[in-house]
Structure 1
């Protein structure tokens, strides 16, 4: 077991030594779903015979005309996703409860029986106050949650699939490298064609099943993350 752990530590350490002094590499752009959607678009639309000349008309409503609708609508098209998140939540709860009770029971006289019993009881004991109980309980709790998030971004996304009901599945990614740090932005989800504006833009709140990731990788991110040994210890150790 010890040899296995040492070998694993050396393997992980050596795999990271190649990044020393090197800038982080970009993710290849020619192997993702976006390029596949643009390289293999959907089936071409069929034009009716009497509308075959609409493509050449200046005033037609086709996408290829001067005044045509240029919004994304088919597989391989590109649109702009506008992310403007400004969320603020504040929740505060307070609860308090108290309860008290008291009970007593005695037999001062019952045909002289308590007096007879008192003679046999230890000194100071009497049946006059046979039973006396009291109880008290109280509880209080306070809780609060405060969160503030603000994010403003714009990213180009590609229509990677068109569902049978006309909903478009989009996926977009963006990477910017500054010195030895790469900033990554990834967005995926499903949009309705009618929600896309005339500027070929859509806001994040109109994306169903939206998945937005904003982070980075590089030297600064490595310093901010705990070492893998510490992460394992945090999970395994019960204290």
Structure 2
């Protein structure tokens, strides 16, 4: 077994990382001289990473039949509901997040201690102690410790998105699983927006929109790739050195 703390182990880790990043490097090299390719429009459920979502469900209750009544229990409109309700329907997801946090912490600790011990008299045996040794000052020790720490966190985030998603599942209790994805290609920079989550039909507004804070298990991603994104990302070699270097 090769210890990874040795130069040979670090070299082995470097070779492993290089082999793992080869596919990503070849993919980036294939985009040299042209804009990043956009993902073709496709069924979200055909994505290899897509998995059906299961959630805790209440006990199913049969809907009672009302004699001589045109109203169906659970309906939100008498004639027709224009809001998304079935697999394949489209619903617009509104993301309006404005979050800020400010945290400051200061700690200070100081400690000083001293110890001394002596044996001036011990049954007359102090007479045989060499003159260079003072029995009353056999031991003396002192210590001091001081620690000061200061930390501050300031964070401000503002994200405003509006994108259409597709109902991919209708759960047994009526909740809807939504998957939304959009891509924008601007000046060789590909921006990708993705939102997934679970919503209640009653949270869909009359204009067929739903707010992100009404979405359970929400996953919101905004990123992209391109020449500017590559310049802002540290090279894989630098990332390895940051992880492996102990100094």
TM-score between both structures, scaled by the size of structure 1: 0.72
**Contact 1:34–1:158, Cα closer than 8 Å, also in 2:** no
After superposition, give the CA deviation of every residue in 1:131-169 in whole Å (9 maximum; x if it has no partner): 333333232222221111111111111111011122211
Is 2:134 the partner of 1:88?
no
Is 2:194 the partner of 1:186?
yes
**Contact 1:34–1:172, Cα closer than 8 Å, also in 2:** no
After superposition, give the CA deviation of every residue in 1:183-239 in whole Å (9 maximum; x if it has no partner): 111100111122222222111112111111111222222332334444455555555
**Contact 1:102–1:134, Cα closer than 8 Å, also in 2:** yes
Residue among 69, 74, 79 paired with 1:62: 79
Q: For residue 77 of structure 1, what is the aligned residue in structure 2?
A: 89
Q: For residue 216 of structure 2, what is the aligned residue in structure 1?
A: 208
After superposition, give the CA deviation of every residue in 1:20-50 in whole Å (9 maximum; x if it has no partner): 3322222111343399xxxxxxxxxxx9997
Q: For residue 153 of structure 1, what is the aligned residue in structure 2?
A: 161
RMSD: 3.6
Q: For residue 174 of structure 1, what is the aligned residue in structure 2?
A: 182
State the alpha-carbon separation in 2 of the partners of residues 17 and 79 from structure 1: 38
| Structure 1 runs not aligned, ≥5 long | 36-46, 55-59, 64-68
State the alpha-carbon separation in 2 of the partners of residues 215 and 10 from structure 1: 22
State the alpha-carbon separation in 1 of the partners of residues 246 and 93 from structure 2: 44
SS at match of 2:135: coil
| Structure 2 runs not aligned, ≥5 long | 1-10, 48-64
The count of residues paired between Structure 1 and Structure 2 equals 212
227-236 or 25-34: bigger deviation: 227-236
Q: For residue 198 of structure 1, what is the aligned residue in structure 2?
A: 206
State the alpha-carbon separation in 1 of the partners of residues 166 and 46 from structure 2: 6
137-146 or 186-195: bigger deviation: 137-146
State the alpha-carbon separation in 1 of the partners of residues 236 and 111 from structure 2: 50
State the alpha-carbon separation in 1 of the partners of residues 245 and 114 from structure 2: 47
1:11 CA displacement: 7.4
From the superposition, tell whether residues 201 and 142 of structure 1 become closer, same or farther in structure 2 (CA, over 3 Å).
Answer: same
Residue among 97, 107, 114 paired with 1:102: 114
SS at match of 1:76: coil
Larger Rg: 1
From the superposition, tell whether residues 228 and 143 of structure 1 become closer, same or farther in structure 2 (CA, over 3 Å).
Answer: closer
